[in-house]
Amino acid sequence: MPFLTIGSARLATVAVLLSALVFVAVEGVLMAGFLGSIDQFVRDRRYDVVGNVRRFAVRVVAFQAIAFCSLLVSMAVLLVSPPLAVVGFAVGLVVYLLVYLTPFLVVVADLPLLAAFRRSVRLTTGRIEPVAFAAGYALVVAVVSLPVSVITNGGIPGVVLAAAIVGPAGLFLRPSPSGSPGRCSHRLTTTGRRPPTERNTPTGSVALGGL
């Protein structure tokens, strides 16, 4: 019986990890399609979800996987030494603020993942606007997430209603190059590898994903 118990626990652990990896992959694909389509619509008043998934999914999924692995490492450290919880939370928050722009930059500037990481760190350490945007992001997500989670339990009608709520919230959180009032905004210089017609645009806008 002990062997069966240990085996069952291991099987459950593997199942949870596999489910988490599938979730990370699906979330990354959806984020790539969502961010890419919003950015494309803002620029050209059209969007191609499938095309944006093909273009950005690998990099966005890789970012999500790195974030997930970092979370696993943090949880392991906390299990070994619970007193490190406060320090771990503080370090995690700082790291998040440094790199959270990465998927946006992958889409807006069409940067390789490593270059997007570096650009995110430069932007977040060089000006206050990205930090203000992160604060607004966290606030809106906190306000929207709970009711959306409850609504989605209502089946297909609930999912449709939740999408109607999340869509405007995502557009509200779109970084605005003009910094217009009522939006969390910052400038993202697009010097990536976009076609010439798109590279002429000095700033890029992209909606917030992952709500």
Closest alpha carbon to 39 in 115, 133, 141, 107: 107
Q: What is the pLDDT of residue 191?
A: 44
From the number of C-beta atoms within 10 Å of its C-beta (0-12, 13-18, 19+), residue 103 rates as: buried
Q: What is the pLDDT of residue 151?
A: 81
Q: Would you write out the chain's pLDDT as a tens digit for each of its 211 residues?
A: 454 466 677 888 788 888 888 999 999 999 999 999 999 998 899 999 999 999 999 999 999 999 988 888 888 877 888 777 778 778 888 888 889 889 999 999 999 999 999 999 998 888 787 777 777 777 777 777 777 778 877 777 877 777 777 766 665 555 544 333 334 334 454 444 454 334 333 344 443 333 3
Q: What is the pLDDT of residue 6?
A: 61
Kindly give, in sequence order, each residue whose CB lies less than 8 Å from that of residue 106, ignoring residues fewer than 6 positions away. Answer: 56, 59, 60, 63, 113, 116
Question: What does the CA dihedral 5, 9, 15, 19 come to, rounded to 10 degrees?
Answer: 150
173-178 — which CB contacts under 8 Å span 24+ positions?
Answer: 173/133, 173/136, 173/137, 173/140, 173/207, 173/208, 174/38, 174/42, 174/205, 174/206, 174/207, 174/208, 175/104, 175/133, 175/205, 175/206, 176/205, 177/202, 177/203, 177/204, 177/205
Q: Are 49 and 33 in contact (CB under 8 A)?
A: yes
Q: What is the pTM of this model?
A: 0.67
